[in-house]
Structure 1
Amino acid sequence: MKLKKIDEKLAQALVENGITEPNEIQKECFGTLKSGADAVVIMPDNGGKSTTIVYTVIQKLEKAEGESTRAMVIVKDKEEVLKMVDLFRKLGNYHNLRVFGAHDKGDIDYDKNQISLGVDILVGTPHKINAMFSSAGFNINTVKLFIVDDADEIFRLRQDAIILRLSNSIEKTQRVFFAHALTERVEALADKTMIEPYLFGLEEYGEEAEDENLYI
């Protein structure tokens, strides 16, 4: 996959999984996401949203390190947890990153034990992640990349208060929201949690999205 300065092994894994050419939004946002800036990325269904999340995390983390979670990816339900974890394993085939998925139907004690053993990437639903980190005493400040997938849908279900609480618990991290549409709730939470976020995926912003901060 041809993205500027992408990890060679990651690019190879993408190609091996049939992902050979980035779309326009992926081209525009890759450098910004790699740089560590906060961002909101608007992508339609089947627009490569999950793939973008996964290769961004792998690119930034590179390899297993320490015992605490370094990337947190929040998704809407059990099905999305399973899909995202599977995609991380496929595209992370040449990296040794440890990924774990937690959802509302899983056993919380088992999940906490697995995280305590050492996880680089935690994928989970809002309620499960909030419950684990509220009760287990894990150090959430090790999270360097905080991603919310399907943010518009999660916030529509009034789970934005959970996301805000988790985000505020992390002293310093890169925050990225992926959504199908830039709703009022997405804008509001981005404004509360992010520092000068970039905005990608809205046609009216055109090429400016690649070069300028678009404050929400």
Structure 2
Amino acid sequence: MQFSEFPFHKSILKAVAEERYHTPTLVQEQAIPKVLAKKNVIVSAQTGTGKTAAFALPIIQILFDKQGLKEEEGKEIKSLIVTPTRELAIQILENFKTYSKYTNLTTAAVFGGVSLEPQKDILAHGVDILIATPGRLIDLYLQGFIDLSAIKIFVLDEADLMLDMGFITDVKKIERLCPKKKQTLLFSATIPEKIDDLAKTMLKKSVKIEINPEETTAKNIGQLLYYLPKKNKTDLCLDLLRNTINGKIIIFRRTKIGVDKLEQTLLKNDYDVVSIHGDKSQAIRNKAIEDFRNKKATILIATDVAARGIDITNVDAIINFDIPNIPETYVHRIGRTGRAGKSGIAFSFCSPDENSYIKTIEALIEKTIKIIVDHPYIINKPKHKKLQPNTVSKNKKGRKSEASKKNKKRWY
């Protein structure tokens, strides 16, 4: 299938062609027709699968059909996209502007960490499509700068991260402020029980689309695992950067303190490095991402929350400095490389306290990660009791199986 086969207006197809979009991804192929049919849709798919275009393109088509080239209807907010982080809001805004540049639809984003005044000015002129983080959206609504009474399409993006960050009350409040009669789209990397419960209250007669993690773990991403003492992780990182890894690299750390500490170490060793996490100002985070995209910096260190959903192309390698305790996060991370058919490689550093995480990751991706024994800080591979297949995978409702719960204390 090709993008040209979707019933998009020629103005949209022109913008898509200029971005060299030809063949839709799996999630786009399945979701776009459902959204165009004005169904309520729940989509589960990992980072890097093209979820933004899967909702942005049909939203532009639906609103453009209604409005055409006329200005008579005015600039009421007709579609609201709620997303958890500032970086995601900015990225979604850029995508909407790119796809809608040959239409007369206007798009804006509001988010915290920056001054309210410019955002108030933009809203005063009216917008068709609004992207917002929950806190800033509610602030502006309470001040009378946002009217949600004309919303036709409501989108929750990265819903699982939204709830992990404690936004569930805000999300429910925002949904209630919108008209009851609207199309609702929920996009999430995973559908755990709490997302499933939320969807049941917000989406009636919905269609569910699930793209399994093993389907989105690109075959052209090499995955290498290093067992070592925790105290030697920085040493191994420096060794690999000097002798093995080249190009644009993203390093993931679990904590903000860990990000700062590693950044200082790499700067002292003359590496061009930038970092992002939640304690940094929006201006600093934006500059770091832009420097990394433009190759002014070759290394980006980030926490998962700060980096979630950010679209950075041509990443040659990622390093899991800390092994994620949520297996789906591993899939998110390695999906930063090996995009658009290009090759990439993921290096994972596992200390003894993280041994159990590897087994849950391998069960999810249904693959054994290759262990590298030829490095200076090797420790013996831990012995694991064999797990039954899929015991730690999510079932259809996102719940861990009973077998996984029973085996939890016996993985290491």
Q: One fold, TM greater than 0.5?
A: yes
Structure 1 residues 145-199: Cα deviation after superposition (integer angstroms, max 9, x where no partner): 1111111110111201111111111222111111111111211111111111110
Name 2:206's counterpart in structure 1. Answer: 197
Name 1:56's counterpart in structure 2. Answer: 58
* Inter-partner Cα distance in structure 1 for 2:83 and 2:135: 10
Looking at both structures, which has the greater relative contact order when contacts are Cα pairs under 8 Å and sequence separation is at least 6? 1
Equivalent in 38, 41, 51 of residue 39 of structure 1: 41
Q: Does 1:83 align with 2:91?
A: yes
Q: Does 1:132 align with 2:169?
A: no
Assess if the C-alpha contact under 8 Å between 1:103 and 1:124 holds in 2: yes
Structure 1 residues 2-47: Cα deviation after superposition (integer angstroms, max 9, x where no partner): 3431222212211210211112322222221112221111121110
Q: Does 1:74 align with 2:82?
A: yes
Aligned AA (2:205): E
* Inter-partner Cα distance in structure 2 for 1:112 and 1:138: 9
Assess if the C-alpha contact under 8 Å between 2:40 and 2:205 holds in 1: yes
Q: Across the two proteins, how many residue pairs are aligned to each other?
A: 206
Name 2:187's counterpart in structure 1. Answer: 178
Q: Say which SS state the counterpart of residue 4 (structure 2) adopts.
A: coil
Aligned AA (1:184): E
Aligned AA (1:160): I
Q: Say which SS state the counterpart of residue 142 (structure 1) adopts.
A: coil
Aligned AA (2:53): T
- Shift in Å, 1:118: 0.8
* Inter-partner Cα distance in structure 2 for 1:67 and 1:90: 19
Q: Say which SS state the counterpart of residue 140 (structure 1) adopts.
A: coil
- Shift in Å, 1:202: 4.3
- Shift in Å, 1:54: 1.7
Equivalent in 7, 10, 15 of residue 9 of structure 2: 7
Name 2:252's counterpart in structure 1. Answer: none
* Inter-partner Cα distance in structure 1 for 2:146 and 2:190: 33
Q: Percent identity?
A: 18
* Inter-partner Cα distance in structure 2 for 1:48 and 1:91: 13
Moved more, 113-122 or 24-33: 24-33
Q: Does 1:187 align with 2:196?
A: yes
* Inter-partner Cα distance in structure 2 for 1:112 and 1:136: 10
Equivalent in 155, 163, 171 of residue 147 of structure 1: 155
* Inter-partner Cα distance in structure 2 for 1:112 and 1:190: 31
CA distance change for structure 1 residues 137 and 87 in 2, over 3 Å: closer, same or farther?
Answer: closer
Aligned AA (1:12): K
Assess if the C-alpha contact under 8 Å between 1:146 and 1:175 holds in 2: yes
**Which TM-score applies when normalising by structure 2?**
0.47
Assess if the C-alpha contact under 8 Å between 1:75 and 1:81 holds in 2: yes
Assess if the C-alpha contact under 8 Å between 1:168 and 1:193 holds in 2: no
Name 2:120's counterpart in structure 1. Answer: 112
Name 1:21's counterpart in structure 2. Answer: 23
* Inter-partner Cα distance in structure 1 for 2:184 and 2:92: 18
Aligned AA (1:113): D
Aligned AA (2:188): A
Assess if the C-alpha contact under 8 Å between 1:67 and 1:116 holds in 2: no
Structure with the largest fraction of helix: 1
Q: Which has the larger radius of gyration?
A: 2
Name 1:166's counterpart in structure 2. Answer: 174
Aligned AA (2:134): P
Q: Say which SS state the counterpart of residue 79 (structure 1) adopts.
A: helix
